[in-house]
Copies of this chain bind each other. A is one copy, B any other.
Amino acid sequence: MQMAEARKGRTTPEIESVAKAEGKTAEFVMSGLAAGRIVIPRNVKRKSVDVKGIGEGLSVKINANVGTSPDYPKVEEEVEKAKIAVRYGADTIMDLSIGGEVDVIRRRIMDAVEVPIGTVPIYQAAIGMSKRGKDIVDMISDDIFNAIRRHAEDGVDFVTVHCGVTREAVETLQRTGRLLDVVSRGGSFLAAWMLHNGMENPLYSEFDYLLEIAREFDLTLSLGDGMRPGCLADASDAAQFQELITLGELVGRAREEDVQAMVEGPGHLPLSHIEANVKLEKTVCKGAPFYVLGPIVTDIAPGYDHLVGAIGGAMAAWAGADFLCYVTPAEHVCLPGIEEVKEGVIASKIAAHVADVARGTGIELDNEMAKARKKFDWGRQFEIAVDPERAKEMRKKSPPVLDPKVCSMCSELCAIKMVEDYLKKQRQTVR
Protein backbone atom coordinates (compact mmCIF):
# COMPACT_ATOMS: atom_id res chain seq x y z
CA MET A 1 0.00 0.00 0.00
CA GLN A 2 1.26 3.42 -0.98
CA MET A 3 0.42 5.14 2.28
CA ALA A 4 1.87 2.40 4.46
CA GLU A 5 5.10 2.45 2.46
CA ALA A 6 5.34 6.22 2.62
CA ARG A 7 4.83 6.13 6.37
CA LYS A 8 7.71 3.71 6.67
CA GLY A 9 9.80 6.28 4.80
CA ARG A 10 9.92 4.18 1.65
CA THR A 11 9.33 5.61 -1.80
CA THR A 12 7.41 3.55 -4.35
CA PRO A 13 7.61 3.58 -8.16
CA GLU A 14 4.37 5.61 -8.08
CA ILE A 15 5.90 8.18 -5.75
CA GLU A 16 8.98 8.44 -7.95
CA SER A 17 6.85 8.86 -11.03
CA VAL A 18 4.73 11.63 -9.48
CA ALA A 19 7.81 13.41 -8.12
CA LYS A 20 9.39 13.41 -11.57
CA ALA A 21 6.24 14.71 -13.29
CA GLU A 22 5.84 17.48 -10.73
CA GLY A 23 9.48 18.53 -10.50
CA LYS A 24 9.49 17.71 -6.78
CA THR A 25 11.67 15.41 -4.74
CA ALA A 26 10.45 11.91 -3.95
CA GLU A 27 10.74 12.86 -0.26
CA PHE A 28 8.29 15.70 -0.74
CA VAL A 29 5.69 13.45 -2.35
CA MET A 30 6.35 10.68 0.14
CA SER A 31 5.83 12.89 3.15
CA GLY A 32 2.66 14.40 1.66
CA LEU A 33 1.31 10.92 1.02
CA ALA A 34 2.29 9.74 4.50
CA ALA A 35 0.45 12.68 6.03
CA GLY A 36 -2.64 12.18 3.85
CA ARG A 37 -2.24 15.56 2.13
CA ILE A 38 -1.45 13.85 -1.19
CA VAL A 39 -3.12 10.85 -2.81
CA ILE A 40 -1.89 8.73 -5.72
CA PRO A 41 -4.94 6.72 -6.82
CA ARG A 42 -3.76 3.34 -8.09
CA ASN A 43 -5.48 0.03 -7.53
CA VAL A 44 -3.03 -2.86 -7.12
CA LYS A 45 -5.07 -4.78 -9.71
CA ARG A 46 -4.90 -2.06 -12.35
CA LYS A 47 -2.53 -3.13 -15.09
CA SER A 48 -0.95 -0.12 -16.69
CA VAL A 49 -1.64 3.35 -15.42
CA ASP A 50 -0.05 6.74 -15.81
CA VAL A 51 -0.27 7.65 -12.11
CA LYS A 52 -1.11 11.16 -10.95
CA GLY A 53 -0.46 12.84 -7.64
CA ILE A 54 -3.29 14.93 -6.25
CA GLY A 55 -2.83 17.27 -3.31
CA GLU A 56 -0.90 19.98 -1.55
CA GLY A 57 2.11 21.35 -3.37
CA LEU A 58 1.33 19.54 -6.62
CA SER A 59 -0.10 20.99 -9.82
CA VAL A 60 -3.90 21.14 -10.06
CA LYS A 61 -5.41 18.03 -11.67
CA ILE A 62 -8.67 17.68 -13.58
CA ASN A 63 -11.14 14.85 -13.94
CA ALA A 64 -13.60 14.22 -16.76
CA ASN A 65 -16.80 12.28 -16.19
CA VAL A 66 -18.05 9.99 -18.91
CA GLY A 67 -20.68 7.27 -18.88
CA THR A 68 -24.00 6.18 -20.26
CA SER A 69 -27.47 7.12 -19.08
CA PRO A 70 -30.53 4.87 -19.36
CA ASP A 71 -31.59 7.08 -22.28
CA TYR A 72 -28.30 6.73 -24.18
CA PRO A 73 -26.53 3.45 -23.29
CA LYS A 74 -23.98 3.59 -26.15
CA VAL A 75 -20.71 1.88 -25.24
CA GLU A 76 -18.56 3.07 -28.14
CA GLU A 77 -19.47 6.67 -27.64
CA GLU A 78 -18.45 6.63 -23.99
CA VAL A 79 -15.12 5.01 -24.83
CA GLU A 80 -14.59 7.72 -27.43
CA LYS A 81 -15.42 10.42 -24.88
CA ALA A 82 -12.84 9.00 -22.48
CA LYS A 83 -10.18 9.03 -25.21
CA ILE A 84 -10.99 12.60 -26.26
CA ALA A 85 -10.94 13.74 -22.64
CA VAL A 86 -7.47 12.28 -22.09
CA ARG A 87 -6.25 13.72 -25.38
CA TYR A 88 -7.21 17.24 -24.24
CA GLY A 89 -5.64 16.86 -20.85
CA ALA A 90 -7.92 15.04 -18.40
CA ASP A 91 -5.70 13.63 -15.65
CA THR A 92 -8.30 11.07 -14.59
CA ILE A 93 -11.57 9.68 -15.92
CA MET A 94 -14.64 8.77 -13.92
CA ASP A 95 -17.04 6.31 -15.49
CA LEU A 96 -20.49 7.22 -14.19
CA SER A 97 -22.44 4.83 -16.40
CA ILE A 98 -25.99 4.10 -15.31
CA GLY A 99 -27.39 2.66 -18.53
CA GLY A 100 -26.80 -0.53 -20.54
CA GLU A 101 -24.04 -3.03 -19.79
CA VAL A 102 -22.18 -1.04 -17.18
CA ASP A 103 -19.60 -3.76 -16.45
CA VAL A 104 -18.66 -3.92 -20.11
CA ILE A 105 -18.43 -0.15 -20.41
CA ARG A 106 -16.25 0.22 -17.32
CA ARG A 107 -13.82 -2.46 -18.50
CA ARG A 108 -13.70 -1.04 -22.03
CA ILE A 109 -12.88 2.42 -20.72
CA MET A 110 -10.17 1.05 -18.43
CA ASP A 111 -8.59 -0.67 -21.41
CA ALA A 112 -8.91 2.38 -23.63
CA VAL A 113 -7.10 4.94 -21.47
CA GLU A 114 -4.12 4.74 -19.13
CA VAL A 115 -5.09 7.41 -16.62
CA PRO A 116 -6.46 6.59 -13.15
CA ILE A 117 -10.12 5.57 -13.29
CA GLY A 118 -12.79 6.40 -10.76
CA THR A 119 -16.36 5.15 -10.40
CA VAL A 120 -19.40 5.52 -8.16
CA PRO A 121 -20.19 1.88 -7.30
CA ILE A 122 -23.56 2.65 -5.73
CA TYR A 123 -24.85 3.32 -9.25
CA GLN A 124 -24.13 -0.31 -10.04
CA ALA A 125 -25.99 -1.42 -6.93
CA ALA A 126 -28.97 0.74 -7.93
CA ILE A 127 -29.04 -0.59 -11.48
CA GLY A 128 -28.79 -4.13 -10.13
CA MET A 129 -32.02 -3.55 -8.22
CA SER A 130 -33.82 -2.26 -11.33
CA LYS A 131 -32.64 -5.29 -13.29
CA ARG A 132 -34.13 -7.56 -10.65
CA GLY A 133 -37.36 -5.57 -10.87
CA LYS A 134 -36.87 -4.09 -7.44
CA ASP A 135 -36.77 -0.58 -6.11
CA ILE A 136 -33.52 1.20 -5.19
CA VAL A 137 -34.68 1.64 -1.60
CA ASP A 138 -34.98 -2.14 -1.27
CA MET A 139 -31.24 -2.71 -1.64
CA ILE A 140 -29.38 -4.15 1.33
CA SER A 141 -25.97 -3.22 2.60
CA ASP A 142 -24.39 -6.19 0.79
CA ASP A 143 -25.60 -4.87 -2.56
CA ILE A 144 -23.58 -1.71 -1.99
CA PHE A 145 -20.41 -3.40 -0.74
CA ASN A 146 -20.53 -6.09 -3.42
CA ALA A 147 -20.66 -3.38 -6.07
CA ILE A 148 -17.64 -1.67 -4.52
CA ARG A 149 -15.77 -4.97 -4.40
CA ARG A 150 -16.63 -5.74 -7.99
CA HIS A 151 -15.25 -2.39 -9.15
CA ALA A 152 -12.14 -2.85 -7.02
CA GLU A 153 -11.58 -6.32 -8.49
CA ASP A 154 -11.71 -4.75 -11.95
CA GLY A 155 -8.89 -2.40 -10.98
CA VAL A 156 -10.75 0.86 -10.46
CA ASP A 157 -8.30 3.32 -8.87
CA PHE A 158 -10.68 5.47 -6.84
CA VAL A 159 -14.33 5.31 -5.86
CA THR A 160 -16.76 7.96 -4.77
CA VAL A 161 -18.50 6.81 -1.61
CA HIS A 162 -21.16 9.04 -0.07
CA CYS A 163 -20.34 8.08 3.52
CA GLY A 164 -21.31 11.48 4.88
CA VAL A 165 -24.95 11.31 3.81
CA THR A 166 -25.96 10.28 7.31
CA ARG A 167 -29.37 10.37 8.95
CA GLU A 168 -28.16 13.40 10.83
CA ALA A 169 -27.27 15.19 7.58
CA VAL A 170 -30.66 14.39 6.05
CA GLU A 171 -32.46 15.51 9.20
CA THR A 172 -30.48 18.72 9.15
CA LEU A 173 -31.61 19.24 5.58
CA GLN A 174 -35.21 18.61 6.53
CA ARG A 175 -35.03 20.97 9.50
CA THR A 176 -33.32 23.84 7.72
CA GLY A 177 -34.86 23.46 4.28
CA ARG A 178 -33.47 23.94 0.80
CA LEU A 179 -34.59 25.11 -2.59
CA LEU A 180 -33.21 22.03 -4.33
CA ASP A 181 -32.75 19.39 -1.59
CA VAL A 182 -30.29 16.76 -2.91
CA VAL A 183 -28.84 16.97 -6.43
CA SER A 184 -26.12 14.32 -6.06
CA ARG A 185 -27.24 11.12 -7.76
CA GLY A 186 -25.51 8.80 -5.28
CA GLY A 187 -26.50 11.05 -2.42
CA SER A 188 -30.14 10.90 -3.47
CA PHE A 189 -30.14 7.08 -3.57
CA LEU A 190 -28.84 6.96 -0.01
CA ALA A 191 -31.11 9.73 1.26
CA ALA A 192 -34.12 7.96 -0.25
CA TRP A 193 -32.92 4.65 1.19
CA MET A 194 -32.61 6.08 4.70
CA LEU A 195 -35.95 7.91 4.49
CA HIS A 196 -37.61 4.68 3.37
CA ASN A 197 -35.89 2.24 5.75
CA GLY A 198 -35.34 4.48 8.74
CA MET A 199 -31.81 3.09 9.00
CA GLU A 200 -28.33 4.63 8.90
CA ASN A 201 -26.34 4.83 5.65
CA PRO A 202 -24.34 1.56 5.46
CA LEU A 203 -21.35 3.41 4.01
CA TYR A 204 -21.19 5.24 7.32
CA SER A 205 -22.29 2.57 9.78
CA GLU A 206 -20.09 -0.06 8.14
CA PHE A 207 -17.20 2.24 7.28
CA ASP A 208 -14.73 -0.24 8.75
CA TYR A 209 -15.80 -2.82 6.21
CA LEU A 210 -15.31 -0.25 3.46
CA LEU A 211 -11.79 0.37 4.76
CA GLU A 212 -11.11 -3.37 4.64
CA ILE A 213 -11.97 -3.51 0.95
CA ALA A 214 -9.97 -0.35 0.29
CA ARG A 215 -6.93 -1.85 2.03
CA GLU A 216 -7.13 -5.00 -0.02
CA PHE A 217 -6.83 -3.13 -3.32
CA ASP A 218 -5.15 0.10 -2.17
CA LEU A 219 -8.32 1.73 -3.42
CA THR A 220 -8.41 5.48 -2.88
CA LEU A 221 -11.63 6.71 -1.31
CA SER A 222 -13.17 9.87 -2.65
CA LEU A 223 -15.55 10.84 0.11
CA GLY A 224 -18.56 12.09 -1.84
CA ASP A 225 -20.53 15.25 -1.19
CA GLY A 226 -24.05 13.91 -1.39
CA MET A 227 -25.34 17.03 0.35
CA ARG A 228 -23.65 19.47 -1.99
CA PRO A 229 -25.77 22.52 -2.78
CA GLY A 230 -27.52 22.35 -6.16
CA CYS A 231 -28.11 26.07 -6.45
CA LEU A 232 -26.61 29.27 -5.08
CA ALA A 233 -29.42 29.66 -2.57
CA ASP A 234 -28.47 26.37 -0.86
CA ALA A 235 -24.73 27.11 -0.76
CA SER A 236 -22.68 26.71 2.43
CA ASP A 237 -25.69 25.66 4.49
CA ALA A 238 -26.06 23.49 7.57
CA ALA A 239 -26.67 20.23 5.69
CA GLN A 240 -23.54 20.74 3.59
CA PHE A 241 -21.33 21.37 6.60
CA GLN A 242 -22.97 18.66 8.67
CA GLU A 243 -21.75 16.25 6.00
CA LEU A 244 -18.31 17.86 5.83
CA ILE A 245 -17.79 17.41 9.58
CA THR A 246 -18.55 13.70 9.19
CA LEU A 247 -16.18 13.42 6.24
CA GLY A 248 -13.43 15.01 8.33
CA GLU A 249 -13.85 12.28 10.95
CA LEU A 250 -13.83 9.57 8.32
CA VAL A 251 -10.64 10.95 6.76
CA GLY A 252 -9.02 10.39 10.16
CA ARG A 253 -10.29 6.83 10.37
CA ALA A 254 -9.11 6.07 6.84
CA ARG A 255 -5.62 7.33 7.68
CA GLU A 256 -5.47 5.06 10.71
CA GLU A 257 -5.83 2.15 8.29
CA ASP A 258 -3.37 3.54 5.71
CA VAL A 259 -6.24 4.11 3.29
CA GLN A 260 -5.81 7.07 0.95
CA ALA A 261 -8.73 9.49 1.04
CA MET A 262 -9.76 12.71 -0.64
CA VAL A 263 -12.87 14.79 -0.06
CA GLU A 264 -15.39 15.99 -2.63
CA GLY A 265 -16.84 19.46 -2.44
CA PRO A 266 -19.54 21.66 -3.84
CA GLY A 267 -21.28 22.20 -6.11
CA HIS A 268 -23.11 25.49 -6.56
CA LEU A 269 -21.47 28.37 -4.67
CA PRO A 270 -21.34 32.14 -5.12
CA LEU A 271 -17.80 33.26 -6.00
CA SER A 272 -17.62 34.92 -2.59
CA HIS A 273 -18.08 31.58 -0.76
CA ILE A 274 -15.34 29.63 -2.49
CA GLU A 275 -12.28 30.56 -0.48
CA ALA A 276 -14.08 29.93 2.81
CA ASN A 277 -15.25 26.52 1.60
CA VAL A 278 -11.74 25.49 0.61
CA LYS A 279 -10.20 26.69 3.87
CA LEU A 280 -12.89 24.89 5.86
CA GLU A 281 -12.35 21.60 4.02
CA LYS A 282 -8.62 21.89 4.58
CA THR A 283 -9.03 22.40 8.31
CA VAL A 284 -11.95 20.07 9.08
CA CYS A 285 -10.55 17.30 6.86
CA LYS A 286 -6.97 17.81 8.07
CA GLY A 287 -5.40 18.73 4.76
CA ALA A 288 -7.01 15.93 2.73
CA PRO A 289 -6.95 16.65 -1.02
CA PHE A 290 -10.06 18.61 -2.03
CA TYR A 291 -11.86 17.48 -5.18
CA VAL A 292 -14.39 20.07 -6.33
CA LEU A 293 -17.19 19.84 -8.85
CA GLY A 294 -17.19 23.21 -10.55
CA PRO A 295 -17.90 25.14 -8.39
CA ILE A 296 -20.84 26.48 -10.35
CA VAL A 297 -20.93 30.21 -9.56
CA THR A 298 -24.25 31.06 -11.19
CA ASP A 299 -27.36 29.07 -12.03
CA ILE A 300 -28.51 31.09 -15.03
CA ALA A 301 -26.20 29.80 -17.74
CA PRO A 302 -27.30 26.37 -19.00
CA GLY A 303 -25.33 25.73 -22.18
CA TYR A 304 -22.33 27.59 -20.73
CA ASP A 305 -21.75 25.74 -17.48
CA HIS A 306 -18.24 24.73 -18.60
CA LEU A 307 -17.38 28.44 -18.53
CA VAL A 308 -19.20 28.95 -15.24
CA GLY A 309 -17.33 25.98 -13.80
CA ALA A 310 -14.02 27.36 -15.07
CA ILE A 311 -14.60 30.62 -13.19
CA GLY A 312 -15.37 28.70 -9.99
CA GLY A 313 -12.67 26.11 -10.56
CA ALA A 314 -9.89 28.64 -11.12
CA MET A 315 -10.90 30.46 -7.95
CA ALA A 316 -11.20 27.24 -5.92
CA ALA A 317 -7.87 25.83 -7.07
CA TRP A 318 -6.16 29.14 -6.43
CA ALA A 319 -7.62 29.03 -2.90
CA GLY A 320 -6.16 25.55 -2.41
CA ALA A 321 -8.44 22.97 -4.06
CA ASP A 322 -6.35 20.21 -5.62
CA PHE A 323 -8.55 18.45 -8.12
CA LEU A 324 -11.21 19.91 -10.41
CA CYS A 325 -14.05 17.85 -11.78
CA TYR A 326 -14.89 19.27 -15.16
CA VAL A 327 -18.31 20.57 -16.07
CA THR A 328 -19.56 20.38 -19.64
CA PRO A 329 -21.78 22.83 -21.54
CA ALA A 330 -24.51 20.14 -21.35
CA GLU A 331 -24.68 20.19 -17.53
CA HIS A 332 -28.26 20.72 -16.30
CA VAL A 333 -29.59 20.10 -19.81
CA CYS A 334 -28.68 16.64 -21.14
CA LEU A 335 -26.03 13.91 -21.35
CA PRO A 336 -22.96 15.54 -22.94
CA GLY A 337 -21.83 14.46 -26.39
CA ILE A 338 -18.23 14.16 -27.54
CA GLU A 339 -17.97 17.84 -28.46
CA GLU A 340 -19.26 18.89 -25.03
CA VAL A 341 -16.76 16.57 -23.33
CA LYS A 342 -13.94 18.24 -25.25
CA GLU A 343 -15.22 21.72 -24.35
CA GLY A 344 -15.52 20.72 -20.71
CA VAL A 345 -12.01 19.32 -20.50
CA ILE A 346 -10.45 22.37 -22.13
CA ALA A 347 -12.36 24.77 -19.87
CA SER A 348 -11.26 22.85 -16.81
CA LYS A 349 -7.68 22.57 -18.05
CA ILE A 350 -7.56 26.34 -18.51
CA ALA A 351 -8.92 26.85 -14.99
CA ALA A 352 -6.31 24.48 -13.54
CA HIS A 353 -3.48 26.23 -15.37
CA VAL A 354 -4.73 29.67 -14.36
CA ALA A 355 -4.67 28.50 -10.73
CA ASP A 356 -1.24 26.90 -11.10
CA VAL A 357 0.17 30.20 -12.38
CA ALA A 358 -1.56 32.12 -9.58
CA ARG A 359 0.06 29.70 -7.11
CA GLY A 360 3.45 30.30 -8.70
CA THR A 361 4.07 27.44 -11.14
CA GLY A 362 3.66 26.89 -14.86
CA ILE A 363 4.10 30.45 -16.20
CA GLU A 364 6.95 29.25 -18.45
CA LEU A 365 4.35 28.12 -20.99
CA ASP A 366 2.69 31.54 -20.97
CA ASN A 367 6.07 33.15 -21.47
CA GLU A 368 6.77 30.88 -24.44
CA MET A 369 3.49 32.06 -25.95
CA ALA A 370 4.40 35.70 -25.37
CA LYS A 371 7.75 35.18 -27.12
CA ALA A 372 6.07 33.46 -30.05
CA ARG A 373 3.63 36.38 -30.31
CA LYS A 374 6.46 38.88 -30.28
CA LYS A 375 8.13 37.00 -33.13
CA PHE A 376 4.84 36.50 -35.02
CA ASP A 377 5.70 32.82 -34.96
CA TRP A 378 2.21 31.44 -35.58
CA GLY A 379 3.34 27.82 -35.81
CA ARG A 380 4.81 27.99 -32.33
CA GLN A 381 1.70 29.77 -30.99
CA PHE A 382 -0.46 26.92 -32.26
CA GLU A 383 1.88 24.36 -30.71
CA ILE A 384 1.57 25.92 -27.27
CA ALA A 385 -2.20 26.56 -27.50
CA VAL A 386 -4.52 24.39 -25.37
CA ASP A 387 -6.40 23.58 -28.58
CA PRO A 388 -4.14 24.01 -31.61
CA GLU A 389 -6.86 23.01 -34.09
CA ARG A 390 -9.33 25.59 -32.83
CA ALA A 391 -6.78 28.41 -33.02
CA LYS A 392 -5.63 27.35 -36.49
CA GLU A 393 -9.16 27.08 -37.88
CA MET A 394 -10.02 30.49 -36.51
CA ARG A 395 -7.03 32.17 -38.13
CA LYS A 396 -7.83 30.38 -41.38
CA LYS A 397 -11.42 31.61 -41.36
CA SER A 398 -10.38 35.29 -41.18
CA PRO A 399 -6.79 35.33 -42.39
CA PRO A 400 -4.72 38.51 -42.61
CA VAL A 401 -4.95 40.13 -46.03
CA LEU A 402 -2.61 43.12 -46.28
CA ASP A 403 0.25 41.71 -44.19
CA PRO A 404 0.46 37.92 -43.75
CA LYS A 405 2.82 38.32 -40.81
CA VAL A 406 0.25 39.80 -38.41
CA CYS A 407 -3.42 39.04 -37.69
CA SER A 408 -6.60 40.44 -39.19
CA MET A 409 -7.61 42.26 -36.00
CA CYS A 410 -5.23 45.21 -36.43
CA SER A 411 -3.64 44.25 -39.76
CA GLU A 412 -0.94 46.76 -40.74
CA LEU A 413 -1.72 48.79 -37.59
CA CYS A 414 -0.36 46.04 -35.32
CA ALA A 415 0.78 47.53 -32.01
CA ILE A 416 3.57 45.01 -31.44
CA LYS A 417 5.05 45.64 -34.89
CA MET A 418 4.80 49.40 -34.62
CA VAL A 419 6.50 49.78 -31.24
CA GLU A 420 9.16 47.26 -32.17
CA ASP A 421 9.98 49.23 -35.32
CA TYR A 422 10.33 52.56 -33.54
CA LEU A 423 12.24 51.16 -30.59
CA LYS A 424 14.65 49.65 -33.10
CA LYS A 425 14.96 52.93 -35.02
CA GLN A 426 15.64 54.82 -31.80
CA ARG A 427 18.33 52.39 -30.78
CA GLN A 428 19.98 52.82 -34.18
CA THR A 429 19.85 56.63 -33.85
CA VAL A 430 21.39 56.50 -30.38
CA ARG A 431 24.25 54.40 -31.73
Q: Chain A, 321-364, contact with B by CB distance < 8 Å: what is the 0/1 string?
A: 00000000111111101000000001100110111011100010
Contacts A334-B399, A422-B192: A271 and B70 contacting too (C-beta < 8 A)? no
A113–B142 Cα distance when bound, in Å, is: 65
Q: Are B421 and A192 in contact (CB under 8 A)?
A: yes
Contacts A188-B418, A334-B394: A270 and B358 contacting too (C-beta < 8 A)? yes
Give the Cβ gap from A360 to chain B, nearest Cβ, in Å. 8
Q: Is A384 an interface residue (CB 8 A)?
A: yes
Give the Cβ gap from A24 to chain B, nearest Cβ, in Å. 21
Q: Of A101-109, A205-213, A228-236, which stretch is located at the interface?
A: A228-236
Q: Are A299 and B370 in contact (CB under 8 A)?
A: yes
Chain B: which residue is nearest A366 at the CB level?
B299
Q: Is A387 an interface residue (CB 8 A)?
A: yes
- Other-chain contact of A394, B136, B137, B329, B385 (Cβ < 8 Å): B329
Q: Of A5-13, A45-53, A306-314, which stretch is located at the interface?
A: A306-314
Q: Are A386 and B69 in contact (CB under 8 A)?
A: no
Q: Of A29-37, A148-156, A403-411, which stretch is located at the interface?
A: A403-411
Q: Are A185 and B415 in contact (CB under 8 A)?
A: yes
Q: Are B231 and A270 in contact (CB under 8 A)?
A: no
Q: Is A390 an interface residue (CB 8 A)?
A: yes
Select the residue from A386, A391, A402 with max chain B CB neighbours within 10 A. A391
Q: Chain A, 40-78, contact with B by CB distance < 8 Å: what is the 0/1 string?
A: 000000000000000000000000000001111000000
Q: Are A408 and B69 in contact (CB under 8 A)?
A: yes
Q: Is A219 an interface residue (CB 8 A)?
A: no
Select the residue from A136, A270, A371 with max chain B CB neighbours within 10 A. A270
Give the dominant DSSP class at A's interface.
helix
A 131-187 contacts with B by CB, 8 A: 136-137, 174, 179-185, 187
- Other-chain contact of A381, B270, B302, B354 (Cβ < 8 Å): B302
- Chain B residues lying within 8 Å of A411, measured Cβ to Cβ, are 69-71, 98-99
- Chain B residues lying within 8 Å of A354, measured Cβ to Cβ, are 270-271, 297-298, 308, 311
Select the residue from A301, A332, A355, A402 with max chain B CB neighbours within 10 A. A301
Give the Cβ gap from A386 to chain B, nearest Cβ, in Å. 5
Q: Are B350 and A298 in contact (CB under 8 A)?
A: yes
Q: Are A271 and B355 in contact (CB under 8 A)?
A: yes
- Chain B residues lying within 8 Å of A391, measured Cβ to Cβ, are 302-303, 333
Select the residue from A187, A300, A315, A398 with max chain B CB neighbours within 10 A. A300
Q: Is A272 an interface residue (CB 8 A)?
A: yes
- Other-chain contact of A337, B272, B398, B418 (Cβ < 8 Å): B398
- Chain B residues lying within 8 Å of A355, measured Cβ to Cβ, are 271
A 376-431 contacts with B by CB, 8 A: 381, 384-387, 390-391, 394-395, 397-402, 407-413, 415-416, 418-423, 425-426
Select the residue from A187, A196, A314, A401 with max chain B CB neighbours within 10 A. A314
Q: Are A386 and B304 in contact (CB under 8 A)?
A: yes
Contacts A350-B308, A358-B271, A386-B301: A374 and B330 contacting too (C-beta < 8 A)? no
Q: Are A182 and B415 in contact (CB under 8 A)?
A: yes
- Chain B residues lying within 8 Å of A347, measured Cβ to Cβ, are 304, 307
Q: Is A189 an interface residue (CB 8 A)?
A: yes
Contacts A179-B371, A270-B363, A418-B192: A301 and B350 contacting too (C-beta < 8 A)? yes
28 contacts between A and B (CB under 8 A): A69-B413, A71-B400, A179-B370, A180-B416, A183-B415, A183-B416, A185-B410, A185-B413, A187-B415, A191-B419, A196-B425, A230-B416, A231-B373, A233-B367, A270-B363, A271-B314, A271-B315, A271-B318, A271-B354, A271-B358, A301-B350, A301-B385, A302-B390, A304-B347, A304-B386, A311-B354, A334-B409, A335-B398
18 other contacts beyond A71-B398, A302-B385, with CB at 8 A cut-off? A69-B411, A71-B402, A72-B398, A136-B418, A181-B416, A188-B416, A232-B367, A233-B366, A271-B357, A298-B366, A299-B365, A299-B367, A303-B385, A304-B347, A307-B307, A311-B354, A334-B397, A337-B397
